[in-house]
Structures are given as structure tokens and as C-alpha cells.
Structure 1
């Protein structure tokens, strides 16, 4: 007979103490380490293209950051996600990026992340109050989610995003 394994849920302090692992992407979901492969070159190209276009069009006082830890929920057990891109105010705290600093989070869907990006992260980001969340698919479509009192409201774009929210933008996905 085997004993039941006990899972230790990490605190934020324990999470930060782990340091960085460049071999894999590691996020923290309710105190549990979630490991996934690093992005593929095509995934990185899409994220970089969107980042460049965002940087050319964001208002003064905002910045685009790739692949940074964002504390979605600091309460025990905490959740820390690594969006492909975020937009936040430049005057924000660098020590620990909280969801309250994120204006836009962008996730480029990978073959193993569809459900996580569409369901789990969508729910987490909405609950954390991130006002804009874009889910970019391999077929060059984007589901742009805008937070309302009733939750995220979705707009789907094919090939080009033309929007006035969160600011006037034109992003080409080809």
C-alpha cells in the first residue's frame, strides 16, 4: 500500500526564491509549478511582430514587456503567469509586477496551451481585473477581450486588428 503524496503549495516568497529557469517556462497556478516548453521560433516571431507594432503605437507613459512574471493573485495559494506580452505604465514597480499594473496582456496560442490561454487564463485575468486580453491563434486571428462589469466581452479579428480600445491601434498579423 502506498501513502498519499503531499503536495506543497508554494508561497510567493518561495516562488521568487526559486530563481529563473531558462530551459522551460514555469508559471505558478494556485501554488503549483506549471512547466511548459519555451516558445517555438514561429511563436516568438508572432509575439515580436505584435510587440514592435504595439511599441510604435502606444501612448507616452506606457511600455511593452515580453515574458515577465505577473502576480495574478498574491493570496495563498498564489498564481503567477507569464504572458507573452504585457503593456503597463512605465512608472510601475519593477520588483514585482501585479495584475493591477497590466493594461493589456497578450498570449500567442501554442499547441499545448489552447485551453490554458482560452479558459484558465481568461478567467484568471478577468478576476484579477486586467482590462484587455488578446488571444492570438496560429491562423492569424485574434480574440480581443475587453473587461466589462459582466466579464470579458470578445471581438474577433482576422488578419488585422483595428480598434480604439485600449487606445487607437492597427496591428497586422500577417
Structure 2
């Protein structure tokens, strides 16, 4: 099976060829037929491998937990890209951003200035990006908090980082097994052991 078919494209699909100097952040909205969740790192397109069950369920756990506990001043998106600069537009697995930065239903990216927390769930093909490349870029862009999530015996382990604005680098603030309890970016508690439980389903507002 060809790589193109892995992304639902025809075998004869011609992959985009970068211009001199590489792609820009704005190009992601213009290039046709890009696979879902394509990222831009240093002017190069990065294609995402199929998700594992752990990756998908960890994202779901964190998204629901953050949505349930975030103050009204913040909102939460999953797998939504962030424009860091002209040559970098990564897509955190989960992110928390200022609610006043929502520009409407046709918005395709957040500016790094509005992002409060970026979260990456490490997969086999993203280890170097999630452990080194992305946190360095998120820190330089001024995103205050970063979480890296690793798998250990089927459960998530969350490494939490806070930005040192004097050096524009992240400092490790904790390694969290089973339970995550923090006061920043807002008070929150997450039971990491419930990754395989279904989140509660809210009925339509008209039925409440």
C-alpha cells in the first residue's frame, strides 16, 4: 500500500513540493489535499501517523477534564493548530486558550499569544518533536505552560512545565502519576486512571 493511500489519497497523488525557503504558516490553509492534522515545523510539512488507542483516549480524557474545570475566561480545543511564527504552525493535541481570542466558526488557527497551555501526547513517531523540538518552540513563542504526556503500562504520566520568562525556556514542575492536581493555569484535578472510562454525555440543552 502506498503512503498516499494511507491518507485516503489516490496512488498517483503528487505530494506538494516546497518552494525555496520552505512553506509558511499561511500556506497550510491554501495547499490542497493535505492529510488531516498536517503541521508545519521549520517550514517543512509534518504528516501525522494514525493514532493509537492510548493516544486518542488520553486526548479525550484531558479535553473533557479541562473543559469541565476551566474558568469562563478560557476555552479548550483539541488538535487545532497554533501559529508560532512565519515558519512554524504545530498542532498541539490539546490546548487551552483565552476565550476572547475566538474569532468565529471559520477560524483555522490560534495565535501563540492567546494560548495558555499546550499539551502533547507522545507517540512513537513524535518522540523527538514532543520532547525537544515543540517545547523549545512553544517556550520561545511565550506559551506559559506545557504538558508532555507519556504512556506507562497503559496509563498516562503527565510531565508539567512552566515558562521561565528570563530564559524563554521551560522548567519541569512535576511528574504526575495516577492523579494530576495543579493550581496553574487554573485550579484543576484530573484522575489519570480513568482513561478507559466513557466521559459523561450531556443531554441537549432543551431536555434539561
Answer whether TM exceeds 0.5 for this pair: yes
Q: How far 1:92 sits from its partner (Å)? A: 0.5
8 Å CA contact 1:25, 1:38 repeated in 2: no
Q: 2:24 touches 2:88 (CA, 8 Å); kept in 1?
A: no
Looking at structure 1, the residues matched to 124 and 28 of structure 2 have their Cα atoms a distance apart, in angstroms, of: 26
> Are residues 41 and 162 of structure 1, via their aligned partners in 2, closer, same or farther at CA, if it must alter by over 3 Å?
same
Residues 22-101 of structure 1 aligned to structure 2 (within 5 Å): 23-74=35-86, 78-94=87-103, 95=107, 96-101=109-114
User: Residue deviations 1:125-148, cap 9 Å, x none?
Assistant: 000000011001112211101101
1:162 counterpart = 2:181: yes
TM-score by length of 2: 0.74
- Does the 8 Å contact 2:25/2:40 carry over to 1? no
Q: Could you say which residue in structure 2 is the equivalent of 1:142?
A: 158
> Which residue does 1:153 correspond to in 2?
171
Match of 1:120 in 2: 133
User: Using the alignment, how far apart are the partners of 2:101 and 2:150 within structure 1?
Assistant: 29
Q: Secondary structure at the match of 1:56?
A: helix
Partner of 2:12: none
Q: TM-score of the superposition, structure 1-length normalised?
A: 0.87
Cα shift at 1:29: 1.0
CA distance in 1, matches of 2:33, 2:55: 21
Cα distance between partner residues in 2 of 1:13 and 1:53? 31
Q: Rg bigger for which structure?
A: 2
For these two proteins, the number of residue pairs brought into alignment is 165
Task: Give the superposition deviation at 1:160.
Answer: 1.1
Counterpart of 2:24 (choices 5, 8, 11) is: 11
1:61 and 1:162 map into 2 onto residues whose CA distance is 20
Runs of 5+ consecutive residues of structure 1 not aligned to the other structure: 1-5
Q: Secondary structure at the match of 2:38?
A: strand
RMSD between superposed Cα atoms in Å: 1.8
Higher alpha-carbon deviation: 119-128 or 96-105: 96-105
Bigger fraction of residues in strand? 1
- State the Cα distance separating 1:36 from its structure 2 match: 2.3
